[in-house]
Structure 1
């Protein structure tokens, strides 16, 4: 079962947590949830709040859920769940109910999906959303390397409202 801690009590290295372990970004709209993996993001302090920053490309189905809700979750899973994370990152929720097929056990906390199999979940409330624009990049190499199709991410900044750990 989960217990709640403060964001400042998280002991994980954010570079390992986000870049290596990956996050499962999940949102629920109209009683249906969708999720996707993410390996880009940040945690920190903004506007006097503990926040996360994530980016999602416009073509991702989960983005439609995130854009229509106030809350979302970021699930962190043990390495034993790597196969599930690979599946969640490669199959689109447009074509199948990937949460059901993944075997994850879902419940909602403050409107955000939380999965029993996670080792930690951040329940977040959106504060800011802004599409990235090519003109704002100061390094053209970044655009050339990461955005050859000009499908720039949307940046979301969200307050961490709850941290649930096992």
Structure 2
């Protein structure tokens, strides 16, 4: 497996879709926080999901998830998928993306690259352990994030 990228802009500038579930029931959301690296001798991807997000349920209840990256043309679509909840509307039907089953999870045909991840770890951010400025800026009056670390088991191009 090989994935060459500008690691510091991949999530922040390009954004991505985090998807969990199976062909019968899945949800996706736009993410701009994440990381790639090595942990426990494995290639890993790390992502963060607020406990209030619908996708959080899917992350907790499934062993696999995907992180997929898209061409710039899809920035508008990713913006909508990040601002609407799958609890309220059928995001997939209105997104125009084509769902595709992959190795225990879901992604989309339009993705440039999809990282298929097997969940290894989940832990809630504790604001008591954060820099107070960060805690105030990102969590005052808002739900916490859970951090998910997944082993990258496949890269689909």
Deviations 1:21-47 (A, max 9, x none): 001000115711110011011100000
Task: Name the Cα RMSD after superposition.
Answer: 1.2
Q: Which runs of 5+ in 2 are unaligned?
A: none
Is 1:32 aligned with 2:28?
Answer: no
TM-score by length of 2: 0.96
1:53 aligns with 2:53: no
1:135 to partner: Cα distance: 2.0
The 2-side partners of 1:51 and 1:123 are apart by 10
What is the DSSP-based 3-state SS (H/G/I as helix, E as strand, rest coil) of the residue aligned with 1:158?
strand
- Gaps of at least 5 residues in structure 1 are 1-5
| C-alpha contact 1:73 1:124 (8 A) present in aligned 2 | yes
Match for residue 116 of structure 2?
A: 123
Runs of 4+ in structure 1 displaced over 3 angstroms?
A: none
Mapped contact 1:49–1:159 kept (Cα < 8 A): yes
Could you say which residue in structure 1 is the equivalent of 2:134? 142
TM-score normalised to structure 1 length: 0.91
Distance 1:116 1:29, change over 3 A: closer
Separation (CA, whole Å) in 2 of partners of 1:31 and 1:14: 33
> Where does 1:1-166 land on structure 2 (aligned, <5 Å)?
6=1, 9-29=2-22, 31-137=24-130, 139-165=131-157
